[in-house]
Chain A
Amino acid sequence: MLKRPSFGSLLLGLIPFVGTCFSVSLWDRIYPLVFGLPFNFFWLTSWLALTPLCMWGAYRLETRRDPESQPPNKGADAA
């Protein structure tokens, strides 16, 4: 069987699920408007940027755990 992801990275992965999915009744509202955008629209759009932050943390945790999957040389990886 494959190695399971670490608890820490799973927890970081759970954050976007809470933010954009399970908490819907908290943020599905128009007001307060943010930059003129309805709150629900602004909230979901900002998670497009917040999710990579969480997952960058998870990436750090996973690669530290598993030295074999350290990024290879930058030059070798370019397409």
Chain B
Amino acid sequence: MSASAVALTLIFGTVAVGSFIGFYVGARYKMDLEQWTVAGRGFGLVLVWLLMAGEVYTTFTFLGASGCAYSRGGPALYILGYQPLVFVVSFFIVPQVWEVGRKYGLQTQADFFQVRYRNKYLAAFVALVGVVFIIPYLQLQLTGLGIIVEVASSQGIGRTPAMLVAFALVAAFVFASGVRGVAWVCVLKDLLLLAAALFVGIAVPYIYFGGVGQMFAALLRARPHHLVMPGTTPNLGHAWYVSTVLLTAVGFFMWPQNFAASFTAKSGDTLRRNAVVMPLYSITMPLMLLVGFTAVLILPGMSNGDLALLTLVRKTFPAWFLGLIGGAGALTAMVPAAILILSAATLFVKNLYRPIFAPSMTDDQVAKLARIMVLVITAVALFFAIHSSTTLVSLLILGYAGVAQFFPGVVLGLYSRRVTMPGVFAGLVAGISIGAILMLGKRDPFFGLNAGFLGLCGNLAVTAVVSLLSPIKPSGLDESFPESAVP
């Protein structure tokens, strides 16, 4: 067998084992909408941890972080900076979101807006924005899968056919397993990724330089400015760092899939304890950055940094090892992709299509249509993945610029009675417009600041002003949280 054949066989073997776990777990439960989307709300600490971690470790961790460290240098530290802050933010809002979710039987993020602001058009708009910004994140996962197969086959299989195979696998996986199957495959994927990160992050600098410290010393001699901001970029300095870290820290749990993942928990306390320990889980991030920094000296001049990790592994280790790493990477793309598709399909059907166009649909019909949407959404992301060459980190930041705009509506909605439906609606439109205008006009970063962050600032201002100008309506959360509960 040739080296590429060995590597590819191992990759597909790993994917097959992962898919089997998903199908097996999924097949044991009858799949109605509640089971498919929130697994009957029965997950304890361990499974919620895995499901949330499943969404922390994506292809971005695997290929994007090292790619960013390779091609941008210092600014890649933002990835390390925002990780712990995500869980600080979640500590203060996710248990509360869970509580509302349990009380009203919420399944999606848009459900939350529906219950709090009592307006189906706002909920439908939230669903639409969620689906639109899930697409680039899904595109990121499919591109990652394509890169893995491309590098493992020594460029013998093109990225487009590789992504077509990935598309079929992911869609089949989602159909069969729902969220319960996905959570269990996370176990396998996270173990593999952790092992890969520990091994590659430590071993590769050791093999070439005799240790991590020696690698940094060599890098400092050759590229003294690579490791501090703005690194190799002209304009990603400290202002960009602060604005991007804030945007992503508040944005993480605004991703529809992460927001909905909290509904799978058994108790709010589970989520609070989760938030305390989760930053430790990000220990793979510095290791992945080490790989990227090492690649700067070993593989200079690569045009696409996202290929750095796998190319480095291919150059350093035997083919079977590349196969194992590639298999771990493939699962790391497939599992989050499945979660993303599941969330987008449910949002589209449950909060956009049914309330606006077909109010008489039954839950069974909703579940059926959701499965058709799985194919449609994946196909759209595949189309973009094939026709664009954006780096993984750019796709990630684009997605965050969109979903972070939900933050004012969620947080103010939880804690303030003064915020109104027109305020949140106008703020959301303003935030997305500002971000879109700056990004499409190539003005990102704008005076050193992240465009999505500026959108969020505009969003907050508009939400506040319009809320103050519009009449107060009773909050949808009030009946079950009577006045006496307010301190």
Measured between C-beta atoms, what is the minimum distance from A76 to chain B in Å? 8
Partner of B269 from the list A9, A48, A71 (CB cut-off 8 Å) is A71
Measured between C-beta atoms, what is the minimum distance from B28 to chain A in Å? 15
Which residue of chain B has the shortest Cβ distance to A56 in the bound complex? B276
Q: Could you tell me how many residues of chain B have their Cβ less than 8 Å away from some Cβ of chain A?
A: 67
Q: Do A38 and B227 form a contact, CB below 8 Å, given A2-B99, A2-B415?
A: yes
In the bound assembly, the distance between CA atoms of A71 and B83 in angstroms comes to 26
Q: Is the CB of B267 within 8 A of A72?
A: yes
Q: Is the CB of A45 within 8 A of B80?
A: yes
Measured between C-beta atoms, what is the minimum distance from B60 to chain A in Å? 17
Q: Is the CB of B283 within 8 A of A36?
A: no
Contact with B along A61-76 (1 / 0, CB 8 A): 0110000011110000
In the bound assembly, the distance between CA atoms of A48 and B77 in angstroms comes to 13
B273 cross-chain contacts in A, Cβ below 8 A: 59, 71
A70 cross-chain contacts in B, Cβ below 8 A: 269
A44 cross-chain contacts in B, Cβ below 8 A: 77, 80-81, 286
Q: Is the CB of A47 within 8 A of B84?
A: yes
B270 cross-chain contacts in A, Cβ below 8 A: 77
Q: Is the CB of B272 within 8 A of A28?
A: no
Q: Is the CB of B84 within 8 A of A62?
A: no
In the bound assembly, the distance between CA atoms of A51 and B285 in angstroms comes to 15
A40 cross-chain contacts in B, Cβ below 8 A: 74, 77, 227-228
Measured between C-beta atoms, what is the minimum distance from B197 to chain A in Å? 13
B43 cross-chain contacts in A, Cβ below 8 A: 79
Interface of A is mostly: helix
| B298, CB-defined interface residue at 8 Å | no
| B45, CB-defined interface residue at 8 Å | yes
Measured between C-beta atoms, what is the minimum distance from B180 to chain A in Å? 11
B82 cross-chain contacts in A, Cβ below 8 A: 20
Partner of A69 from the list B227, B242, B272, B283 (CB cut-off 8 Å) is B272
Contact with B along A14-53 (1 / 0, CB 8 A): 0011001110110011100101111011001101110110
Q: Is the CB of A4 within 8 A of B487?
A: yes
Measured between C-beta atoms, what is the minimum distance from B413 to chain A in Å? 9
> Which of B121-129, B210-218, B340-348, B458-466 has 4 or more CB atoms under 8 Å from chain A?
B210-218
Which residue of chain B has the shortest Cβ distance to A21 in the bound complex? B245
> Which of B383-391, B420-428, B439-447, B474-482 has 4 or more CB atoms under 8 Å from chain A?
B474-482
In the bound assembly, the distance between CA atoms of A22 and B82 in angstroms comes to 12
Q: Is the CB of B414 within 8 A of A2?
A: yes
In the bound assembly, the distance between CA atoms of A71 and B213 in angstroms comes to 43
B214 cross-chain contacts in A, Cβ below 8 A: 36
In the bound assembly, the distance between CA atoms of A18 and B93 in angstroms comes to 19
Which residue of chain B has the shortest Cβ distance to A58 in the bound complex? B91
Q: Is the CB of A62 within 8 A of B272?
A: yes
Q: Is the CB of A16 within 8 A of B238?
A: no
Measured between C-beta atoms, what is the minimum distance from B479 to chain A in Å? 12
28 residue pairs from A and B, CB less than 8 Å apart: A1-B415, A1-B416, A1-B477, A2-B99, A2-B477, A3-B486, A4-B487, A20-B80, A21-B85, A24-B241, A28-B77, A28-B228, A30-B228, A36-B212, A36-B213, A37-B212, A38-B228, A44-B77, A44-B80, A48-B280, A51-B85, A56-B276, A69-B272, A71-B269, A77-B44, A77-B266, A77-B270, A79-B44
The chain B residues found within 8 Å of chain A, CB to CB, are: 43-48, 74, 77, 80-85, 87-88, 91-92, 95-96, 99-100, 211-214, 216-217, 220, 224, 227-229, 238, 241-242, 245-246, 249, 266-270, 272-273, 275-277, 279-280, 282-283, 285-286, 289, 414-417, 475, 477-478, 481, 485-487
